[in-house]
Structure formats: structure tokens, C-alpha cells
């Protein structure tokens, strides 16, 4: 799988633009999978295009942990979180390119979002394994990758990697300009870890 550079900060601003909702509406994409009270992780959250809508869906009984490796992305997200008065629901975390550093979340997460991030990750198997471990039994992971950066073949290989870890394919949601797959943790396969 071809590796990409990490998303520049200026692209982070573009991705956070409200105009993007015309093609990729967070509520439409997420509301089928995310419910009030859920504990969610937004991986590669950048400036929070999906993080704030996620927080509004899970509400005060739930929580959203937003993870990114770039400090500037997290700083901008924090400003938005404070302005939107969502700090009680959203936690922000920095990670490294080697690890999401989410061992403390083992078995706790109901839903994980990895939108337009996996193509930037070097060790995809490790990245997916960390998410797998953080998910609770039957927890779900939605992966969406930009068609402009990721070929159908590479997306297929990514799904195979996820299946080898133990994920099961639930569906292929239709998301504009994206390859997408909804995966579920399959505990029967967890011996593969
Ligand atoms: C193209 S942006 C997508 C942002 C957001 N998910 C969205 O769709 O608006 C990718 C983000 O993933 C982050 N990222 C790249 N590699 C990562 C990794 N290994 N772990 C966590 N975040 C990563 C980048 O810093 C960047 O903010």
C-alpha cells in the first residue's frame, strides 16, 4: 500500500469547513451507527469536523475521545470544543505515529471512526489492532478513505488486513468521494491477535 504524507495543517482548515457538509454530512454518516450514551473514539480527528457532531449525538451520557498526532490540530479542536461548550463530552489526546496509545481504553469503546486517516498510517496492522483491542465486544469501526488518495485495490487490501486481525465486515456505507466499510469486532476470531 502506498504511503502518504501526514495531512498538512492548512488542509486541516479546509477539512473543517462547513461547506464539506454538502458532500459529507457528519450527521447523515454517523447517526445510523452512533447513539446517545456511547463511548466513541475519533481517530485522526484533525480539527474536529466529525468530533463535534459525534459529541452532540452521544450527549452528556456518552463521551468522545479525539486522537491525533499533530499538536496544532488538537489545539484548534480544543478551541472549538470550548466554544461549543462540549468539553464535558470531548477528551483530546495526542498520539505518536507508532501508536495510538489507547491501551487504557481496552474493551471500552462502542464505536471508532477512522475517516481519511488510515492511508497516512505507516503500520496499518498495528493501528487496526490497537483499535480492535479498544473496542468492546461487538464494537464497530467505520473506515472511510478518500478515493483520490486510495485505490480500490489498496482499500481491499486494507479490509483484508482488518479481517486478519479479527474484524468482520458489516456493510459498505455509501459516502461521497470515499471508499467505506463498517467493521465489527468479532470475538470468535480474537485468537488471531
Ligand atoms: C486527512 S486528515 C482527516 C481528518 C478528519 N478525520 C476528517 O475527516 O476531517 C488526517 C488526520 O489524521 C492524522 N493522523 C495521521 N496519521 C495518524 C496516526 N498514525 N495516528 C493518529 N492520527 C494520525 C493527521 O494528523 C490528520 O489530522
By CB atoms closer than 10 A (0-12, 13-18, 19+), residue 101 is middle
Per-residue model confidence as pLDDT tens digits over 89-112: 999 999 999 999 999 999 999 999
Gap from CA of 188 to ligand 1 centroid (Å): 30
9-15+23-192: CATH topology is: Rossmann fold (3.40.50)
CB 110 within 8 A of CB 38: yes
Q: How many CA atoms lie within 13 A of 115 on its CB side?
A: 25
* Residue 184 predicted with pLDDT over 60: yes
CA dihedral 43, 46, 50, 56 (to 10 degrees): 90
DSSP code at position 111: E
Gap from CA of 85 to ligand 1 centroid (Å): 23
Per-residue model confidence as pLDDT tens digits over 43-61: 999 999 999 999 999 999 9
Angle, nearest 10°, between helix axes 124-134 and 152-165? 50
Counted residue by residue, the chain has a size of 193
**Ligand 1 proximal residues by C-beta, below 6 Å:** 6-7, 12, 15, 43-46, 49-50, 67-70, 73, 95, 97, 100, 115-117, 120-121
Per-residue model confidence as pLDDT tens digits over 118-171: 999 999 999 999 999 999 999 999 999 999 999 999 999 999 999 999 999 999
Which grid coordinates belong to 151?
Answer: 485505490
Q: Which of 24, 22, 10, 54 is nearest to 36 (CA)?
A: 54
Amino acid at each position: 500500500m502506498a504511503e502518504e504524507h501526514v495531512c498538512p495543517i492548512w488542509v486541516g482548515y479546509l477539512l473543517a469547513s462547513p461547506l464539506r457538509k454538502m458532500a459529507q454530512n457528519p450527521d447523515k454518516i454517523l447517526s445510523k451507527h452512533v447513539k446517545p450514551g456511547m463511548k466513541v473514539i475519533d481517530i485522526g480527528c484533525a480539527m474536529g469536523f466529525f468530533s463535534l457532531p459525534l459529541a452532540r449525538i452521544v450527549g452528556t451520557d456518552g463521551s468522545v475521545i479525539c486522537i491525533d498526532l499533530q499538536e496544532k490540530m488538537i489545539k484548534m479542536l480544543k478551541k472549538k470544543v470550548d466554544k461549543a461548550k462540549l468539553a464535558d463530552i470531548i477528551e483530546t489526546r495526542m498520539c505518536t505515529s507508532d501508536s495510538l496509545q489507547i491501551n487504557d481504553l481496552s474493551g471500552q469503546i462502542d464505536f471508532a471512526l477512522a475517516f481519511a486517516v488510515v492511508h497516512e498510517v505507516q503500520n496499518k496492522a498495528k493501528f487496526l489492532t490497537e483499535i480492535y483491542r479498544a473496542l468492546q465486544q461487538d464494537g464497530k469501526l467505520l473506515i472511510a478513505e478518500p478515493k483520490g488518495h486510495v485505490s480500490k485495490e489498496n482499500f481491499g487490501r486494507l479490509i483484508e488486513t482488518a479481517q486478519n486481525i479479527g474484524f468482520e465486515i458489516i456493510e459498505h456505507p455509501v459516502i461521497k468521494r470515499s471508499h467505506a466499510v463498517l467493521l465489527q469486532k468479532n470475538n470468535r476470531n480474537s485468537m488471531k491477535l
